[in-house]
Amino acid sequence: MKRIVSIIKQLKSTSYIKFILFPVIIVVSLLISSSIFYTQIDKLRQQIDTIYFGNFISIHKLHNIVEAYNEILLSKKYFSVQKKIILENWDYYYTAYKDKEERLIVDAINAQLQQSLNKRDTKQTRKVIKQILLTIDHEMTTATIQRESFVQQYDQMRNYLLYNVIAIFLFSLLFAVLSIYEMIKRQKDLEKSNHEFKMASRTDSLTQLFNRQYFDQIFDKMPNIAQTNNWTSAFIILDIDHFKQYNDTYGHDQGDVALKEVANALKIYFDKEYEYVFRIGGEEFGIILLNTNIQILTSCLDGFINHIHQLNIEHKTSTVASKIITVSLGISIVDENNYNTTPRDLYVGADKKLYTAKEQGRDQYIL
């Protein structure tokens, strides 16, 4: 029994640990998901910063070139200064990354730009300015397309991560709910098993009445309980008449049937609060009534004996005239007149009265 209780405690401890871990698992899962989400968002932000700042710088450089060319067209005395501005800004733009198609266009513009600076040809200069302006439009169009692509990727990534966060949360929640349900179910099973173990330890296996061990626990406290609550209480010893002869005549299997029938009758007539029925050995039963009175007690005993008669269990070797199973009972009373009595005195008193009932012909009770 101690081992069983130890196992139950261990299982309870394990269940409580799991219960504590459930919210922790959910929180950790959400933190990890959130961390992944924000990491990806930061990467996308870095991409858009690169795209827009890169395009802004490139477009700004091209605008510087156009302004320098316009100054050259207005006045030639600053030509060397403007040329330097053009070359520096163009070198930045020209050396920047370009795909194959853009590289062909930029190379063509580069040749025209070098030619315009070497020949100082106004017509060629205007042509270059026109090409630069077209390039600015191209950069702005490209930036718009890249932005649209980025926004689309951003929305897809955001939705993907959001769905993942929701999925992880729902999975964690489902896991927690199922685990909590399993824990509660297991806890109930453990409590049920524990109750069954306790009942098994204090129940007679044949009659399902309380056993002698549990009787000793209750009976030892009986006088004190009666005194504390100012109750009139009773202890009854019941014995099946000539039960040895019954077993010898009908066999032990049939004897077990008779014991069960008597036990069932006891359960029917003594099933109220503070009423306890025990099998204390062989064909002997004990009844403890912690809160009763003489009138109720005698009425119940009369009804019980009549019920045993109605069972009409044949006992042809009995000395009782009816030749059926009968019972004899001896009763000790605990009330205000003898609250200081001992359990032993109660037992001895009831046993003596049981003996008197048998001497007087059985099938009766003696108060």
Active site (catalytic) residues = 283
Q: Count how many Cα atoms sit within 13 Å of the Cα of residue 247 in the half-sphere of its side chain.
A: 12
* Class of residue 111 by CB neighbours under 10 A (exposed 0-12, middle 13-18, buried 19+): exposed
Contacts of 52 (CB under 8 A, 6+ apart): 143, 147
DSSP-based three-state secondary structure for 198: helix
User: What distance in Å separates the CA atoms of residue 58 and residue 275, rounded to the nearest whole number?
Assistant: 99
Distance in angstroms between the alpha carbons of the first and the last residue of the chain: 40
DSSP labels, 273-301: TTEEEEEEETTEEEEEESS--HHHHHHHH
Rounded to the nearest 5°, which phi and psi values hold at 97?
Answer: -65, 135
Closest by CA to 276, choosing from 217, 362, 361, 197, is 217
Give the Cα separation of 54 and 114 in Å (integer): 24
CB–CB of 238/287 below 8 Å? yes
Calpha distance 322→242 (Å, rounded): 13
Cα distance between residue 242 and residue 248, in whole Å? 10
- Non-local (6+) Cβ contacts of 256 within 8 A are 206
Burial of 135 (0-12, 13-18, 19+ CB in 10 A): buried
**What are the residue ranges of helices labelled H in the chain?**
2-74, 79-95, 100-119, 122-201, 212-219, 222-229, 243-250, 252-269, 294-311, 343-359
